[in-house]
Structure formats: C-alpha cells, structure tokens
Chain A
Amino acid sequence: MFYVTMLFQYMSQYMKTRLQYRTDILVEFFSDLLSQSVNLIFILVVFGHTDLLGGWTRDEIIFIYGFFLVPYAVFSAFFNIWDFNDRYIVKGELDRILTRPIHSLFQIILERLELEGLLGAITGIAVMIYAGSRMGLTLSWYDPFLFIIFVIGGALVYGGIFIILACISFWADARTSIMPMMYNISNYGRYPINIYNKIIRFVLTWILPFAFVGVYPASYFLGRHELLFYSLITPLIGVVFFTLSILLWNQGVKRYRGAGN
C-alpha cells in the first residue's frame, strides 16, 4: 500500500513539473508521432509493390505495429533505465537510492518516470482501430481484458530485458553501448516472426523475447490460431523475465560498493 501511495505521489509531482512547460510536451508528442508515422509510411509504400509479406496482409502488419506501440509506450513511461550506468553507478547516485525506504529498483523507476511516453499508446490504439475496422475484426467481451493482460506482459518483457542489461553495470564497470543495440534489436519484434531465419526466430522467442511485445500477442486478435500457444503465454513470459531481472538486481545491489567519493 505504501508503494502505491508513493507511486501516486511521484506521479502527481511529475505532472506538476511537466505541465509548467506545456509546449515542450506538445513538441515531443509531435516528433514522436512523426517517427511513428515514418514506420507506417514504410509499410504503406512497401505494400504498393506486394500483396503479402511472409503471408501477412497490409492491414495485419499495420495492426501488429499498432499493438507494438502500446506496450512500448508503457515501457518507455516507466522503465527509463537506459542510462543507469552513467547516472547511478559512475556518479555514485545509487548511494542515495539505497538509503530510501522503498526497494531500490522501485525508487529509480519513480525518479525516472516519463509519463508523456504513455501518449504513444493512444497512437497505437488508433492505428489498431484503423487496421482492425478495415479487416472487420470483431471483439468478444473478454478481448479488452486480454488486451490489457497482453500489454502488461509485453511491457514486462521489455522492462525485464532492460533491467537485466542495467544489472550488467553491477559486475562490469566499463561503459557499454548494449542499450542502444537492444533498442535496435527490439524493432525486430514489430514484424511477423516467420520472415526471419530459424536462429533469429529462436532468439526472439526465448532469449530476447521481443516477439512477445508485438507479433505474438497481436496475432491472437488477428485470429491467427497457429500462433495461439505463443499468444497465450505472453503474460507468463513477461512475469518470468521480470522476476528474473529483479532477482538479478537484488544480487547486483549486494555487490555495489559505491564510487569513491
């Protein structure tokens, strides 16, 4: 309960600081929108020259992309730890975090909230509605609930992977550029998994399971029942990876020795 009130405390503080600079939020939203539309334009232009991409239609690909944007938005609002090494380890900021009464990882998440990232979810849902209505998709009463569960699952997969990567800095001191690399790999999950070769498919499913952020859960709503098994284990994969990352984090924090003075 204490954690929940803390979350809302931090959220309201965050809103106050951000709403001071309203134009900033607007500009950021539009440049996000612009980069998302570049990906859409890519899909639209490509389907001017082909009818199917690995057996998937234009609207299906657009739907998958729209779905991908939602868990990604949740991830980018809450898990802003890509500069964890610089900010907390090298500068020794983690000392301060460890004196706080809540779990260290939770404290960092609270400090690094970027709630405007959630706006991307609106774009994603709009894209899904556009593609879905073109295909005449119908929803059952339980689909919205499954959608929320899948989104949480996907966000946990993302969060788990990036927390695990952040944990590397507890063991290795060197600056790594693994984080930007992982952002690029995560883009692979936006497209149907069957266009990749076997090794990449395996990696995207079991090792860096970015396919569970986009194509697997989205294919449930598209009625692609050959992937049903993968769709349904999305929340499980999310919970497993997130739990793993927290266990690793707890081990890592024990090893932390501060950064001199």
Chain B
Amino acid sequence: MDKYLEMIRIRFLMMLAYRTNYYTGILIYSINIGAYYFLWSAIYGGKEQIQGLSIAQMTTYVAISWMARAFYFNNLDREMAVEIMDGRVAVELIRPYNYLVMKMMQALGEGIFRLFLFSVPGLVIVYFIFPIHLTWDIAVWGLFAISILLSFFINTQINLLTGITTFFLFNNSGLIRAKRVIIDLFSGLILPISFFPVWAQNVMNYLPFQGISYIPSMIFTKGFTAQHAVYAIGQQFIWILILIVPIQLLWNLAKKQMVIQGG
C-alpha cells in the first residue's frame, strides 16, 4: 500500500514542477464556460425553468462540471498506448507492483494536483465572472466530494480499458479520440442528461458515462434531492465494481498474447 501512496505523492510533485502550464488551462476552461454560459442564456430566453433547472442552476452546472473535469480527466489511455507501443510495458510488468493500480495511482496524484491548483482557483475566478450560486450546505459538499471521487474512478477505469485495447489493436489513436468525444457527450459535460429525449435517457441509464459528470454536477447544483443523490452515488459505486470485470478479463488476455513492439 505504501508504494502506491508514494506513487501519488511523486506524481503530485512532478506536476508541481510544471505548474505554470496550468494557468492557461484555467483560462481555457473559463473560455469554454463562457461560451456555454452565453449559449444557455440565449436558450433560456425568458423561460424560468427547463427540465427543472433554472438559468442560475444551469450556469452553476456548466461551471462545476468543467472544473470537476479538471480533477477526473487524465490521459491514461494515451500514456498506456505509448508505453505499449514502444515496448516499455515489458519492463513495467516485471516490477513489483500491479501495473494497472500503479497507473491509477499516478492519475490520482495528477487529479489531486489539479483539484488544488486548477479547480479551486478556477472556481473562484469563474465565481466572480459569471452568476454562479455556490451552496453553503455542508451535506451537499460532502455528497459532491464522494461523488466526484467515484467519477474519477469510473473515468479512469474507462481509460484503462481503452488503454488495454492497444494490446489488440496496436494503433488505437482513433479509438482514443472517439472515446473522448463520446464521454464529453454522454457524461453530461456539455448537456445535462435530463435534456435528452426520454428514449435516449433510458439508454444512458444503462451506461456508466453519466456517473462521470452528470451525477456530481447535479448534486452540486441541487438538481437532485438528497434521496436521489444517495441513490445516484450508489449507482456510481456499482458501476465501479462492474467495470473491474472487463478490465481484469482483457488484462489477463492481453498478458497471455502480448506482442512487444520494438524494444
């Protein structure tokens, strides 16, 4: 366990060395939040509410879902693809740790770094520019914290799965790009799930993606009742358990028929 904690720490320190890259990142996210803020204002027009969300809640939703993205987002799939393609993964596999757990811990170190040096200052800046309502209800913050941690795990598991496919496809850059686009749409980042037509919502209920962005953002904007929030967190938790299965299966299969490229 100690070695994995150490992984988190090292990755955190590594990111700290390159922190200037992150100031422009905050600006980029603010630009995106701004674009959606103006769009949503025009969409609401004079309407009080759409699908149970007021314009103030919608603005908060947009802001929090982008800032949360800074925490759960990582390029694990791309990193894995590179390591697999240039053969470095062979060395990783003989080291005394579980490769997948180690990758996840590195991503967590990165996420924690971005949470404190990106999301928190970013949220403060965005709070002063756009009409955002932050709640002072401790319970909401608590549920949000749990939910966002779970969304990190779901997103990272999907990244691991995508990364492992490199073993079988050899070049999966197209798949990685497609996955990113699908997650942006189906996780509720650019559009709350409740806005989709009912049939699409029903389909998405059976997919893990809404656990990445929609659930934590809805909890934060109080779009969910407390009861619904607890239920949704349970749903996220179940998805984490379910996703372990394909990862283990593919991973075992990959190790058996591995071809080291180059090296």
Q: Which residues of chain A have a CB within 8 Å of any CB of chain B?
A: 24, 27-28, 30-31, 34-35, 38, 41-42, 45-46, 48-50, 52-54, 176-178, 180-181, 184-185, 187-188, 191-192, 195-197, 200
Q: Which B residues lie within 8 Å of A49 (CB)?
A: 43, 50-51, 195
- B28 at interface by CB-CB < 8 Å: yes
Whether A41 touches B38, Cβ cut-off 8 Å, given contacts A48-B195, A50-B43, A180-B28, is: no
Q: How many inter-chain residue pairs (CB < 8 Å) link A and B? A: 80
- Report the nearest B residue to A188, measured CB to CB: B35
Which B residues between 178 and 230 are near A, CB-CB below 8 angstroms?
Answer: 178, 181-182, 184-185, 190-191, 195-197
Q: Of A35, A45, A178, which contacts B181 at CB under 8 A?
A: A35
Interface residues on B, range: 20 to 34
Q: Which B residues lie within 8 Å of A196 (CB)?
A: 38
- B21 at interface by CB-CB < 8 Å: yes
- Report the nearest A residue to B21, measured CB to CB: A177
- Report the nearest B residue to A36, measured CB to CB: B181
Q: Which residues of chain B have a CB within 8 Å of any CB of chain A?
A: 21, 24-25, 27-28, 31-32, 34-35, 38-39, 41-45, 47, 50-51, 171, 173-174, 177-178, 181-182, 184-185, 190-191, 195-197
Chain A contact residues: helix, strand, loop or mixed: helix
Q: Which A residues lie within 8 Å of B196 (CB)?
A: 45
Whether A34 touches B38, Cβ cut-off 8 Å, given contacts A42-B191, A181-B27, is: no
**Alpha-carbon separation in the docked complex, A49 to B35 (Å):** 19
Q: Which B residues lie within 8 Å of A200 (CB)?
A: 34, 38
**Alpha-carbon separation in the docked complex, A45 to B178 (Å):** 20
Q: Which B residues lie within 8 Å of A181 (CB)?
A: 24, 27-28, 31
